[in-house]
Every structure is written in structure tokens, then in C-alpha cells.
């Protein structure tokens, strides 16, 4: 397949600005840029899905620039709902440095910052050199602008965002030879503003390509604004948490994700799809997806550790797990604080069992373990001496129900 055919097969083409772009993509040698705003101190999985196309194009002979836009982050782009809160300048600049480091670890390409060519521009220069060429009616026709005006209104600052992004495209075209901007599909209106600006001021033809946003089966995208961000920073989303997230990918979506989020070939993905359809309970496709993404982001060792933690937790073998990794693995299980006391009292006090009668039944049946050991003694004392590490202990009820329990300093029952 040609590059364009491969991108189409993977579902990575939403819009292109001109049919002429197809041959240019297939022939290599375009200088292009793709960007994001540093509104947080880490990228998330939605960013990863978009930035992966930079590597695909680079592998085909094109030349990438990655833009982390501190200037645009200080303004905020319309999202079609409500106005964004203005970001603190120093926080934005700090986020830029963190995202630059993170990006270059994953994608070893040059990172640029639009604050460098915007910070000294006067408002008169901005209006004369850029605002003069874009008609207000044209701007009002942009989908996100129109929707936001209908929902909550839009400030002049956010309304002007597309002009600054158009300014970026023009600057990079004239100073770095950029002829193509790539972005998520929600940026189409901003990109085409740049194309219009360049055409009116220089007569040059430049191009745009947008990538569909990664969403779940309900159409919810993976992003910070949606409150479901899966961060690329291992301290914010651990490799184990990422493993669990990917392992739980819906069967209806996993092959689509393999196409869009990995570099596996068409033949490899089709073989995985066949195996997945024959035995979806084995979760071969989900495990492959997790391996490819985690290994790319954090290394193969991080992936192997995530698998090991998962297997050890499933088997109840928590003693061999590092306490820090154990807490990461149990981040989303119930946490409770109890006073010291006999095991049945602790089970009821921590709402692990609904009553002492139920607690006795679980204990008698060998269904309660404390720090990995099955406990059948109803007189077993839970106190500060019982902690697994630091000030917590782990109680498991049955085969899968884990609880992280903190012991208070109160007197034992």
C-alpha cells in the first residue's frame, strides 16, 4: 500500500484540504507540523494517538516539527461549549518545558514554541498583518465558534484563537518551509484559517490533514476536558493502570485501536482480529494493544512489570509486589480507615462485610486473606502490627475483591 492507502486503512484520514496532497504524501519530502497547547503538565492518550501520525509521516520521508504552543495556551481555543479559564503564564511556560521533554522522549523530533514568535508582536502588527486578511463572516462560520456562540457566547480572545494558529502556520511556512499542518479533526477550522491566510498574503498553496479523534464506542474522546484522561506521565497514570485501561478496551473498538495506535502491519492486525473473533475471552487483541503502547511509551520492562503485577494480584500473591506498585495496582479499589480490633469487627467497620454474620461466613470458608495470607481465626487481631507497608494493609474477600485498609491510632477493641 502507499502511505495514503495505509493511513486510510487505519482510519487516520478525516479531511484533506486538496486532492493534490495525496501524491505529495506518497512521494515524501514534505515539511509538516503538528501541535498541542501546554494546558497541563503531561500529554494524554488522545495526544498520543494524534502525534503518532508524525512518526508515520517521518518514516515515509517527511520532515516533522512538533509545536507546543504556549502563546495559544494563554488564550484557549473554543471547544463549542463554554469559555475556557485563562491559564497562568508561568504555569503555561513550565508546562511547555515538561511537554517538550515528554514529547522528545517518545518522538525524537524538533519541538518549537509559538510564544517565541508571538511574544514581541504589537497588537497593531497583529491586526494589520493577520486580522486584516480574515473576514469575520468566515470566522463565524467555523463549527466550534458557532456552537459556542449558541451555547454560552464567546469572548474576543477565544474568537481570535484561529488567527493565532493561522499566524503559526504562516510563520512556519515562511521561516521553516512548512507546507502541511496535521491535527486532530476538531482543529479543521483553525487549520483552514491558516491556509486562507497564507494564500491571501503570499499566494502559496499549503495543505492540511486531520486525523479522527480517538473515542470509545459512545463517542467520548480521551481528553482532559472530558475528565477521563489517561496520562502519558508514568507518575500520573502508572504503566499498570495503563495496562488495565487497555486490557478493558471494548471488543467492538480494539481492532480499530490496533490500527490507529500501533505500527503492526495489516497482515499482523488481520491475524489478531481473526484470533480475537474466534476467542474474544482470551483478550489477545487487548493484550497486544497494551504491549505495543506501553512498550512504546515506557519500555518493554514496564510492560512486563505491569503484566506481572496483574497476574500476582489475580493470584493473591501480594507479598512479592513492591508496596509502591501494589498501591498503584489497587488505586481504584475501595479504601477504608478502621480502628484496631478483631477481624470480624474490622470487616464490618470497613464495610468489607455487611454484618458480623456475613464476616463469620467468609472467615469460616477461607474467603478472607490479610496481606496475602488466608485467615480463618475469628479472634485474629488487626492493629498497627498488621500493616503491610507504611500504614496500610490489604484485605481480600473472595478471589477478586481487594480493599486497602488504614489503621487508626485508637485503642484496640
Distance CA 64, CA 316 (A): 47
Q: Which cell goes with 163? A: 488567527
Q: What is the pLDDT of residue 225?
A: 53
| Inter-residue contact 100 to 57 (CB < 8 Å) | no
Return the pLDDT at 218. Answer: 83
pLDDT at position 390: 67
pTM of the model: 0.85
Q: How far apart are the first and last CA of the chain?
A: 72
**In contact, 57 and 64? CB cutoff 8 Å:** yes
Q: What are the average pLDDT values for consecutive 10-residue runs of the chain, which has 413 residues?
A: 97 97 96 96 94 97 98 85 82 97 96 97 95 90 85 86 96 98 93 96 97 87 66 91 93 97 98 97 97 98 92 82 81 89 95 95 95 93 83 88 86 45
DSSP 8-state class, residue 398: T
Distances (CA, A) of 383 to 199, 235, 353, 393, 405: 73, 31, 18, 10, 11
Amino acid at each position: 500500500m502507499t502511505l495514503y492507502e495505509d493511513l486510510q486503512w487505519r482510519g487516520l484520514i478525516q479531511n484533506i484540504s486538496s486532492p493534490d496532497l495525496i501524491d505529495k504524501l506518497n512521494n515524501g519530502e514534505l515539511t509538516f507540523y503538528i501541535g498541542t497547547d501546554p494546558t497541563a503538565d503531561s500529554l494524554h492518550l488522545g495526544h498520543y494517538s494524534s502525534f503518532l501520525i508524525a512518526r508515520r509521516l517521518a518514516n515515509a520521508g517527511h520532515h516533522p516539527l512538533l509545536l507546543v504552543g504556549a502563546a495559544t495556551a494563554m488564550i484557549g481555543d473554543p471547544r463549542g461549549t463554554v469559555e475556557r479559564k485563562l491559564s497562568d503564564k508561568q504555569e503555561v511556560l513550565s508546562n511547555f518545558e515538561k511537554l517538550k521533554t515528554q514529547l522528545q522522549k517518545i518522538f525524537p523530533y524538533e519541538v518549537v514554541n509559538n510564544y517565541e514568535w508571538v511574544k514581541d508582536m504589537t497588537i497593531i502588527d497583529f491586526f494589520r498583518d493577520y486580522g486584516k486578511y480574515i473576514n469575520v463572516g468566515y470566522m463565524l462560520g467555523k463549527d466550534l465558534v458557532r456552537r459556542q456562540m449558541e451555547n454560552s457566547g464567546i469572548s474576543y480572545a477565544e474568537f481570535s484563537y484561529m488567527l493565532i494558529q493561522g499566524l503559526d502556520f504562516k510563520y512556519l511556512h515562511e521561516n521553516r518551509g512548512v507546507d502541511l499542518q496535521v491535527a486532530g479533526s476538531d482543529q479543521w477550522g483553525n487549520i483552514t484559517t491558516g491556509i486562507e491566510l497564507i494564500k491571501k498574503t503570499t499566494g502559496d498553496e499549503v495543505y492540511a490533514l486531520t486525523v479522527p479523534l480517538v473515542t470509545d464506542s459512545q463517542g467520548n474522546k480521551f481528553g482532559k476536558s472530558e475528565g477521563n484522561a489517561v496520562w502519558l506521565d508514568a507518575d500520573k497514570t502508572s504503566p499498570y493502570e495503563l495496562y488495565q485501561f487497555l486490557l478493558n478496551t471494548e471488543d467492538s473498538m480494539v481492532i480499530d485501536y490496533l490500527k490507529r495506535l500501533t505500527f503492526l502491519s495489516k497482515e499482523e492486525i488481520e491475524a489478531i482480529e481473526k484470533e480475537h473473533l474466534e476467542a474474544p475471552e482470551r483478550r489477545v487483541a487487548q493484550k497486544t494493544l497494551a504491549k505495543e503502547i506501553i512498550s512504546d511509551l515506557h519500555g518493554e520492562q514496564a510492560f512486563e512489570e505491569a503484566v506481572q503485577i496483574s497476574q500476582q494480584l489475580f493470584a493473591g500473591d501480594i507479598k512479592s509486589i513492591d508496596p509502591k506498585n501494589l498501591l498503584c495496582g489497587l488505586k481504584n479499589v475501595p479504601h477504608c480507615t478502621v480502628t484496631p480490633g478483631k477481624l470480624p469487627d474490622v470487616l464490618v467497620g470497613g464495610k468489607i462485610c455487611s454484618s458480623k454474620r456475613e464476616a463469620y461466613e467468609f472467615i469460616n470458608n477461607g474467603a478472607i486473606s490479610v496481606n496475602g495470607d488466608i485467615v480463618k481465626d475469628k479472634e485474629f487481631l488487626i492493629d498497627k502490627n498488621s500493616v503491610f507497608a507504611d500504614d496500610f494493609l490489604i484485605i481480600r474477600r473472595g478471589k477478586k475483591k481487594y480493599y486497602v485498609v488504614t489503621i487508626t491510632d485508637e485503642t484496640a477493641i
